[in-house]
Structure 1
Amino acid sequence: MNKPIIHPYIPIAIGVLTVGLSAIFVKLTTADAGVIAFYRMFFSVVIMLPFFLHSYRKELYRLSKRDWLLSSIAGIFLAIHFILWFESLNYTSVASSTVLVTLQPIFALTGTALFFKEIISGKMLTAVIVALTGSIIISWGDFRVSGAALFGDVLALLACGFITAYLLVGQDVRKRVSLVTYTFLVYLVSSIALFLYVITIQQPLFSYPASDWGWFLALALLPNLLGHTLFNWAIKWVSTNVISITILFEPVVASIAAYYILQESISVSQMIGGIVILTGILLFVLDFKAIKKKLFLKKA
């Protein structure tokens, strides 16, 4: 595998910052969850289309049936993730929702161990627990034992499972397919799935205020085309576990943005939680790099 042009952790960090704004954009719209998700994916496909047709369309002929199948599955998983997560924001707070969605390491550890036989050390597991503890601390004041909040929390947790499945599938495909082609196919399938969902449950596709269209476009440009595309690029060079643990920083970004944009206050527990999360991320990344270095030296 060729060496990447820049260190994978740099685009991952940028991706986390942009994805952290996603919940804010969703909160600022008046549309239903399915409609928001559809336009996020649809605008992404429209923006990518000219570049894809000009430089990458020939790659479609070289894709195997397996690549087509897995890319389609990834697109459907991504669509379900957005529907569940955006809907959860109607019932629970930004902090609670983003914390639950970023509990991906729990799912990713199991998935990569079962399907990719990746090594999970005791230190890495400890780092995950530290980071998850920080996530819980961040939103401790927002967790509410009530019907609506609990329902929103469940939706966010389910969304977490589907985004992890999306990343796991992508880890396999991205070893053979270019970033642009894979991303375009996944976003296209996701758009079609979301369109069918919106039409089926009869949610309106038009008659929204100008501000909503601005947020739809912002969702496509920042979290999607910049954030998730950077994750898809990085997944060729790093494990799903690395991305999943780093995404735990998303609640920090979301909480800060919610404070300034939505006037949601930031508590002491959220600040402490942010420090704990960063500690967990650092421990995980350092141990992961150490394991990879040992394996490389052993093979050499």
Structure 2
Amino acid sequence: MVSWFNKMPGRAYLLIGVMIFGVANSVTRKLTEIGAENLIDGRNPISLCNVLFVGNLCALIALIGVYSRQLNPTAFRHLSSKNWCYLLLVALLSGALAPGLFFSALEQTAVNNVILVSRIEPPLILLLSVIFLQARVNSWVVSGAIVSAVGVVLTVVLQPPGSEMIQMSAFQLGRGELMATAGAVFSAIANIISQVSLKNVPLGLFNVVRTAFWTIIFFAIAWYLFGIEHFMDVSSPLLWKWMVFYGTVIVVIGQLSWFAGLKRSNASEVSLANSFNPIAGVLAAFFILGETPTAAQYIGGLVILGGIILNQIGIVRENKLPSKTSVSSSVGFKGV
């Protein structure tokens, strides 16, 4: 069984990762609905804070088991003070702030909006990669990034008026969409910091330390903002039952599959797999939550799809020119 699993092609790993990450937002929303149906003295045991804290804790335990061989004193001693600082910063951005914003967005807007708006992250990563990593990309990739960004903007500004709207100049923008955008920005910045300053840190050690940091950071922030009583339902059996599933399947297996695919695939295969993430997310929202796309989501989604196609053409062309550097392996948000 293990031998067969190790012989799986990179595309298969990428497909598994994309499918898992694609359903993450819908599963998160569904879990909060399950919690709302099983209140404890009027409180939802599967709340924002409980999901992020307990889910990260379960993921941390699973990651320690997977990467136990890399977690030795020598590996930790090789981490410099700068490594620790950057790990702390990445954990704050991608482990506490970004998931918190995405989860808050899921509470205030449709899952499809969060999925489509989060597609602003790949163009942001591309821009930051060109600025800070001197990455060279062709006009097709740049055009795809611009078109995708336009699609995200259309998804946001074409939303019908609602109660959770903020007036900005001549537009009314949804709070949930703005939170999802902010989450994508933080996630993109964390991605670049990881590529620039943590590329020499072993993957297993990086994932374990980052997850440990963001679990502690999120707990400290929530304790400071809401008080320790905010976690009074953290021992709920219902919460732990679902978080063991969420932390193990969504976080750990999803990450391991994606990273395994990255090692075994070329840039065009990674880019192609990544392009299916919003499609998987929208389908998951329909089948799990019964959420059908709105007119704004159809328009924005089609434009984003056009940008993805342009990007894929650019990646295929770049693969024919080995001297160029591709940044297509950068991926967008893959769920809370």
**Retained in 1: the 8 A contact 2:112–2:297?**
no
Deviations 1:275-297 (A, max 9, x none): 66555334323423533542439
- 2:24 alignment counterpart: 22
Relative to structure 1, the CA distance from residue 198 to residue 232 in structure 2 (aligned partners, 3 Å threshold; closer, same or farther) is farther
Relative to structure 1, the CA distance from residue 154 to residue 237 in structure 2 (aligned partners, 3 Å threshold; closer, same or farther) is farther
- 1:280 alignment counterpart: 307
Separation of aligned partners in 1, 2:321 and 2:254: 31
Is 1:117 matched up with 2:131? no
- 1:222 alignment counterpart: 249
Match among 157, 161, 164 for residue 188 of structure 2: 164
Relative to structure 1, the CA distance from residue 106 to residue 115 in structure 2 (aligned partners, 3 Å threshold; closer, same or farther) is same
Q: Which moved more, 1:79-88 or 1:216-225?
A: 216-225
- 2:211 alignment counterpart: 187
Q: Which moved more, 1:20-29 or 1:277-286?
A: 277-286
Task: After TM superposition, list the pairs within 5 Å mapping 1:42-61 onto structure 2.
Answer: 42-57=57-72, 58-61=74-77
Identity %: 18
Is 1:87 matched up with 2:104? yes
Relative to structure 1, the CA distance from residue 244 to residue 107 in structure 2 (aligned partners, 3 Å threshold; closer, same or farther) is farther
1:191 Cα shift?
A: 0.6
- What amino acid is the match of 2:284? A
Is 1:175 matched up with 2:199? yes
Q: Which moved more, 1:88-97 or 1:43-52?
A: 43-52
Q: Which moved more, 1:81-90 or 1:284-293?
A: 284-293
1:147 Cα shift?
A: 4.1
Separation of aligned partners in 1, 2:120 and 2:268: 11
Q: Which moved more, 1:27-36 or 1:187-196?
A: 27-36
Relative to structure 1, the CA distance from residue 88 to residue 38 in structure 2 (aligned partners, 3 Å threshold; closer, same or farther) is same
Secondary structure in 2 matching 1:90: helix
- 2:170 alignment counterpart: none
Separation of aligned partners in 2, 1:178 and 1:45: 16
Secondary structure in 1 matching 2:195: helix
Task: After TM superposition, list the pairs within 5 Å mapping 1:256-295 onto structure 2.
Answer: 256-266=283-293, 277-278=304-305, 280-291=307-318, 293-295=320-322
Q: Which moved more, 1:32-41 or 1:208-217?
A: 208-217
Separation of aligned partners in 2, 1:207 and 1:34: 9
- CA RMSD across the alignment: 3.6
1:248 Cα shift?
A: 5.4
**Retained in 1: the 8 A contact 2:102–2:180?**
yes
Query: Between Structure 1 and Structure 2, whose CA radius of gyration is higher?
Result: 2
Match among 110, 119, 123 for residue 106 of structure 1: 123
Deviations 1:203-244 (A, max 9, x none): 225267644433322331233213344555667899999978
Secondary structure in 1 matching 2:290: coil
Any unmatched runs of 5+ in structure 1?
none
- 1:70 alignment counterpart: 86
Relative to structure 1, the CA distance from residue 291 to residue 240 in structure 2 (aligned partners, 3 Å threshold; closer, same or farther) is closer
Separation of aligned partners in 1, 2:111 and 2:88: 30
Secondary structure in 1 matching 2:134: coil
**Retained in 1: the 8 A contact 2:27–2:288?**
no
- What amino acid is the match of 1:125? V
1:253 Cα shift?
A: 1.7
1:76 Cα shift?
A: 1.0
1:187 Cα shift?
A: 0.8
Aligned length: 293
Task: After TM superposition, list the pairs within 5 Å mapping 1:120-135 onto structure 2.
Answer: 120-132=137-149
- What amino acid is the match of 1:254? G
Relative to structure 1, the CA distance from residue 123 to residue 207 in structure 2 (aligned partners, 3 Å threshold; closer, same or farther) is closer
**Retained in 2: the 8 A contact 1:71–1:173?**
no
- 2:329 alignment counterpart: none
- What amino acid is the match of 1:38? F
Any unmatched runs of 5+ in structure 2?
1-6, 36-45, 166-173, 326-336
- 1:146 alignment counterpart: 162
| TM-score, structure 2 as length reference | 0.73
Relative to structure 1, the CA distance from residue 277 to residue 243 in structure 2 (aligned partners, 3 Å threshold; closer, same or farther) is farther
Secondary structure in 1 matching 2:61: helix
Separation of aligned partners in 1, 2:116 and 2:324: 37
